[in-house]
Chains A and B, each alone.
Chain A
Amino acid sequence: AQKITQTQPGMFVQEKEAVTLDCTYDTSDPSYGLFWYKQPSSGEMIFLIYQGSYDQQNATEGRYSLNFQKARKSANLVISASQLGDSAMYFCAMGSSGGSYIPTFGRGTSLIVHP
Chain B
Amino acid sequence: DAGVTQSPTHLIKTRGQQVTLRCSPKSGHDTVSWYQQALGQGPQFIFQYYEEEERQRGNFPDRFSGHQFPNYSSELNVNALLLGDSALYLCASSSRGLNEQFFGPGTRLTVL
Partners in one complex: yes
CB of A104 within 8 A of chain B? yes
Asked if B42 and A44 make an inter-chain contact with CB atoms under 8 angstroms apart, the answer reads no
| Number of residues of chain B lying within 8 A (CB) of chain A | 23
CB distance from B105 to the nearest CB of A (A): 4
- Chain A residue numbers with a CB within 8 Å of B41 are 107-108
CB of B68 within 8 A of chain A? no
Asked if A43 and B43 make an inter-chain contact with CB atoms under 8 angstroms apart, the answer reads no
Asked if A100 and B56 make an inter-chain contact with CB atoms under 8 angstroms apart, the answer reads yes
Q: A43-B88, A45-B92 are in contact. Are A102 and B48 (CB under 8 A)?
A: yes
Which of B58, B90, B108 meets A45, CB within 8 Å? B90
CB distance from A64 to the nearest CB of B (A): 14
Compute how far the CA of A52 lies from the CA of B100 in the bound complex, rounded to whole angstroms: 11
Which residues in window 47-103 of A have CB below 8 A to B?
47, 50, 52, 91, 93, 95, 100-103
CB of B66 within 8 A of chain A? no
- Chain B residue numbers with a CB within 8 Å of A33 are 99
Asked if B45 and A103 make an inter-chain contact with CB atoms under 8 angstroms apart, the answer reads yes
CB of B33 within 8 A of chain A? yes
Q: A33-B99, A95-B99, A100-B56 are in contact. Are A44 and B106 (CB under 8 A)?
A: yes
- Chain B residue numbers with a CB within 8 Å of A44 are 103-106
Known A44-B106, A100-B48, A100-B56; further 9 A-B contacts with Cβ < 8 A = A43-B108, A44-B103, A47-B100, A47-B103, A102-B58, A103-B101, A105-B42, A107-B41, A108-B42
Which of B43, B56, B99 meets A105, CB within 8 Å? B43
CB distance from B12 to the nearest CB of A (A): 16
Which residues in window 46-67 of B have CB below 8 A to A?
48, 55-56, 58
Asked if B103 and A102 make an inter-chain contact with CB atoms under 8 angstroms apart, the answer reads no
- Chain A residue numbers with a CB within 8 Å of B48 are 100, 102
CB distance from A114 to the nearest CB of B (A): 23
CB distance from A59 to the nearest CB of B (A): 12
- Chain B residue numbers with a CB within 8 Å of A43 are 88, 90, 105-106, 108
Top-5 shortest CB links A-B: A105-B42, A45-B103, A43-B106, A44-B105, A33-B99
Compute how far the CA of A104 lies from the CA of B42 in the bound complex, rounded to whole angstroms: 9
